[in-house]
Structure 1
């Protein structure tokens, strides 16, 4: 499904919707819904919010993306990474979380309208890998307290690590056994699905039914494990004992449709809008950017895998609208979910219409099933989160970068380590380190120098102001250190642009070589660079169409004054490359 700039991409696929697609879309929507409901409860716990807010965040994105999305596989909703960020910036207050969704959506919407999706390119792959790997560890360890049945554990990672180890003796046996059992069951079902062979249409009916049952159980493993754990907890409740910590009561019914609160009433006073924004701080940049990055990356990955194209700026619009409208139904910030998108794709979804089924299933759960969620053990939800985030840790990236490009390990390790302290510090520091490495490569471009009758200098990239002093010093030192001193030929075949500061540096280089009786000539100039140099009216500027002609001329006329005898002080642009021979005057 190719990308489009149409404001309503639904108008592209709906008129050609086929009846054959309907059962596949419904099946995929149900599979994603059965995954989304237990994950929503678990992610709300991770975000530090009442559990119903996970469900509030899980349906609006499905409906909006059906209208505005350009990828058939993507599903929007709460994710582990976004929940971790909300936990960091929303102060565990639902009012802050909902307002953060509204403001993030506005920022994303503005970026989409201004077509600023290219800004995401400045977040390098090592930074992303460092963040997601650190998030995998911090999110998993954050749920260890629920697996062990511990309470009162701080949320800061290092304090959490210390307190968990100090209080390990207070572990509740029931929660620990149930949590570990759920983890083992989820791992087994995941492995079963990865090794499940393709269904053979010609196989006997019993074989096909068995294959379908195994596939459904493996795909909806989160719902299956949470349901089983709930039944176990309910059985103990009936018998008059309860060895597990339960989710507890969740308000039943749909959230009211109303704008987010722009001030927050607390027992000790009212927090105005300006103070709420100040409290969120850098989160107003980190949350929308990470949401955009996660969603667009997922959309691109599945579009490439399944043979269609997306429009990244349209994806930004879809995500922005989903977050803005989601805030009107008490949603916290959402983004594309890799796990649920994978379930959607593997279920054979044909169009974004599958999201309508997922959203409807979440609404039905809110309207009729929340009373049943009371008996879900927190250890089971913790197992669901850990199972979802463990695959995010990419140990292989460290080995790969060590083998391929060791310098990229610097932003990776900086991001990875600082994210254990504070997520925002890790991301910002990683981006800054990546930027410094990029600037260093611009300031120190590769320069190849070959000695002969003349000194041949080949810059490996364009010339901009950070690099000009390095180039000038390198050329002068090599030209004057040679015995005898040599004129310089600057081969600019790899230089596609030049700025004013670099132009001044070249003028100084011309004058310095002139003072020592040497010449500087250019060859291989691309038209935009040639026009800039001609417009600058540099005294003594010489341009040759080829390296060979320039080398012969400079070798024969090494002195500045002798060059002026044949060529004049300035070159004129040739009418065409074919007509340019010898020294261009």
Structure 2
């Protein structure tokens, strides 16, 4: 029955406004009715503990991005509120990360106006991908490419903090120049910064190890034991805040004596960020830079930043969803990230992505208390941030990115599939030069490896009275010529020419180019006075062959029937590819 355009529009509107669709767009409606107030206390504790981790990390990540410290905090709260309503993972929220901050530093030239505009444009791109359901494009970036990029970024970020750990000045941000200048100036190391940075790293490591070994709290535990476990968990989870506060107190104690052995963060802008649209032009000493020129300056960043942001967020969310036995919606995650970046740009945020916030007792898929705590710190604590030594923030960054480097992946790929080392190493090495070149080259190598397997599928050959050839994977147009050459070489160039069977069990679809190739192949066999038979044709393939009305194509239901016919044994007849000769059960399937 034909449906009018108006009726189709009404159907689509009703589907989009159905309760299931609304729940899909607003995941909070799915979990909130089942939320128990008994979980609220532990959620508040977890949210505040995570907030104490996020605040010093945000200050540190702003340093990685090459922006003033307050921009890290501006970027740390919007994702908490947006993801509360739109997120599908209870272990993830959105905020600044080390890798995203590194990318921002490459494409925004330490200029806040560029960073905020990049957040806005990245959010628009991510929203468009979410609405168009283009999340599948991320599947073309393989695991070796992601691991190569992450490992290179970890080294770049970690090495970039050595200058702050040692108190060195005037170190460039380009990786190779940075390495050269650090080794050249290592004699200028400030002892105070080096000692404090080392102490902070040791404290962070000890607290993290304690956090990993805190046993879970059980209701049957005595109240005193539960309280002690809770205090230890809170202290170890908030280790960044504890260590940074300790370093700030040490720095302040020297400040009041009139001697300062540390390089301090310096003045941080106080108060909440103003709500305003991003600047679409920027005034510099050389004049006004227009929106078009800003976009040209950001260049490949408009592709790299949105894609890497989506990859990082979805990878983290999928990892925890698998561990904790729930599912996420990748396209919904795209919408959440995109909207966070668009709204975040209104409060001077730079691009953000998904980050782990798993906490003890966490039940809701976001951390409202964390967002509130960041806002309170902006309003009341920014004057105190000026006493934080840069070496302490550098220690926070180094300890945050160190687990991201996966040294075992090289040995694993060597053992499992050595060819995958190629995109891994290409990405890893080129990312030290330019991130976009590393990701692009690694992805290109991965796609070429994939296309080679499509264009040259393995052919299983069974030599017997009748030659049987079976493509080990699907048959697509790039593979037709190679398949034709392989069959001609084995069957028709033999003396005398041999009959052959093409076993098509693994071929689930073909296109017109494949049809033409098969027609030529059948003609070649006919001219040599032998037969090419087909076995195991699936319904979609048979439907295409029927539509093409090929002449002389013969197929059989089983390999035994084909071999029996080709040996000219009586009692077996082929099915020609015309509807009159197709078995009744196949006709029913074809017309279904």
Query: What TM-score results when the alignment is normalised by the length of structure 1?
Result: 0.94
Deviations 1:316-371 (A, max 9, x none): 11111100000000000001113xx2xxx23221113x521111100000001000
Which residue number corresponds to residue 60 of structure 2?
42
Q: 1:479 aligns with which of 491, 498, 504?
A: 491
Which residue number corresponds to residue 576 of structure 1?
585
Confirm or deny: 8 A CA contact 2:505 2:535 kept in the other structure. Answer: yes
Confirm or deny: 8 A CA contact 2:565 2:574 kept in the other structure. Answer: no
Which residue number corresponds to residue 148 of structure 2?
130
Which residue number corresponds to residue 130 of structure 2?
112
Which residue number corresponds to residue 15 of structure 2?
none
Q: Distance in 2 between matches of 1:577 and 1:554?
A: 23
* Matching of residue 85 in structure 1 with residue 97 in structure 2: no
Report the CA distance shift for 1:335/1:548 in structure 2 as closer, same or farther (over 3 A): same
* 1:460 Cα deviation after fit: 1.2
Confirm or deny: 8 A CA contact 1:3 1:309 kept in the other structure. Answer: no
Q: Distance in 2 between matches of 1:328 and 1:486?
A: 73
Q: Distance in 2 between matches of 1:538 and 1:553?
A: 20
Which residue number corresponds to residue 562 of structure 2?
550
* Matching of residue 208 in structure 1 with residue 217 in structure 2: no
Q: Secondary structure at the match of 1:259?
A: coil
Which residue number corresponds to residue 31 of structure 2?
13
Confirm or deny: 8 A CA contact 2:474 2:508 kept in the other structure. Answer: yes
Which residue number corresponds to residue 429 of structure 2?
417
Deviations 1:456-475 (A, max 9, x none): 01011121111011100000
Q: Distance in 2 between matches of 1:92 and 1:4?
A: 41
Q: Distance in 1 between matches of 2:314 and 2:548?
A: 44
Q: Distance in 1 between matches of 2:323 and 2:253?
A: 45
* 1:280 Cα deviation after fit: 0.8
Q: 2:345 aligns with which of 296, 311, 327?
A: 327
Q: 2:177 aligns with which of 159, 162, 176?
A: 159
Confirm or deny: 8 A CA contact 1:5 1:311 kept in the other structure. Answer: no
Q: 1:254 aligns with which of 272, 277, 292?
A: 272
* Matching of residue 287 in structure 1 with residue 300 in structure 2: no
Which residue number corresponds to residue 337 of structure 1?
355
Q: Distance in 2 between matches of 1:567 and 1:140?
A: 67
Confirm or deny: 8 A CA contact 2:562 2:574 kept in the other structure. Answer: no
* Matching of residue 521 in structure 1 with residue 533 in structure 2: yes
* 1:16 Cα deviation after fit: 3.6
Q: 1:508 aligns with which of 497, 500, 520?
A: 520
Q: Secondary structure at the match of 1:14?
A: helix
Which residue number corresponds to residue 27 of structure 1?
45
Report the CA distance shift for 1:11/1:568 in structure 2 as closer, same or farther (over 3 A): closer
Q: 1:51 aligns with which of 46, 66, 69?
A: 69
* Matching of residue 231 in structure 1 with residue 243 in structure 2: no
* 1:568 Cα deviation after fit: 7.1
Which residue number corresponds to residue 3 of structure 2?
none
Q: Secondary structure at the match of 1:234?
A: helix
Confirm or deny: 8 A CA contact 1:542 1:570 kept in the other structure. Answer: no
Equivalent runs, 1:270-281 vs 2, <5 Å: 270-281=288-299
* Matching of residue 245 in structure 1 with residue 257 in structure 2: no
Confirm or deny: 8 A CA contact 1:58 1:78 kept in the other structure. Answer: yes
Q: Secondary structure at the match of 1:49?
A: coil
Which residue number corresponds to residue 583 of structure 1?
none
Confirm or deny: 8 A CA contact 1:149 1:175 kept in the other structure. Answer: yes
Q: Secondary structure at the match of 1:50?
A: coil
Q: Distance in 2 between matches of 1:567 and 1:6?
A: 49
Which residue number corresponds to residue 17 of structure 2?
none
Which residue number corresponds to residue 366 of structure 1?
378
Q: Secondary structure at the match of 1:427?
A: helix
Equivalent runs, 1:462-501 vs 2, <5 Å: 462-501=474-513
Q: Secondary structure at the match of 2:156?
A: helix
Which deviates further from its counterpart, 485-494 or 16-25? 16-25
Confirm or deny: 8 A CA contact 1:31 1:347 kept in the other structure. Answer: no
Confirm or deny: 8 A CA contact 1:5 1:314 kept in the other structure. Answer: no
* 1:260 Cα deviation after fit: 0.4
- Aligned residues: CA RMSD: 2.1
Which residue number corresponds to residue 306 of structure 1?
324
* Matching of residue 396 in structure 1 with residue 408 in structure 2: yes
Deviations 1:491-520 (A, max 9, x none): 101100111111111111112222222211
Which residue number corresponds to residue 457 of structure 2?
445
Which residue number corresponds to residue 385 of structure 1?
397
* Matching of residue 436 in structure 1 with residue 448 in structure 2: yes
Confirm or deny: 8 A CA contact 2:554 2:574 kept in the other structure. Answer: no
* 1:3 Cα deviation after fit: 11
How many residue pairs get aligned? The number is: 568
Report the CA distance shift for 1:568/1:256 in structure 2 as closer, same or farther (over 3 A): closer
Confirm or deny: 8 A CA contact 1:59 1:363 kept in the other structure. Answer: yes
Report the CA distance shift for 1:199/1:12 in structure 2 as closer, same or farther (over 3 A): closer
Confirm or deny: 8 A CA contact 2:309 2:354 kept in the other structure. Answer: yes
* 1:529 Cα deviation after fit: 0.2
Q: Distance in 2 between matches of 1:552 and 1:22?
A: 73
Confirm or deny: 8 A CA contact 1:81 1:135 kept in the other structure. Answer: yes
Query: What TM-score results when the alignment is normalised by the length of structure 2?
Result: 0.93
Q: Distance in 2 between matches of 1:368 and 1:35?
A: 17
Q: Secondary structure at the match of 1:75?
A: strand
Q: Secondary structure at the match of 2:308?
A: helix
Confirm or deny: 8 A CA contact 2:103 2:305 kept in the other structure. Answer: yes
Q: 1:177 aligns with which of 179, 188, 195?
A: 195
Equivalent runs, 1:182-197 vs 2, <5 Å: 182-197=200-215
Which residue number corresponds to residue 363 of structure 2?
350
Q: Secondary structure at the match of 1:167?
A: helix
Q: Distance in 2 between matches of 1:325 and 1:212?
A: 35
Which residue number corresponds to residue 456 of structure 1?
468
Q: Distance in 1 between matches of 2:317 and 2:59?
A: 24
Q: Secondary structure at the match of 2:24?
A: coil
Report the CA distance shift for 1:169/1:568 in structure 2 as closer, same or farther (over 3 A): closer
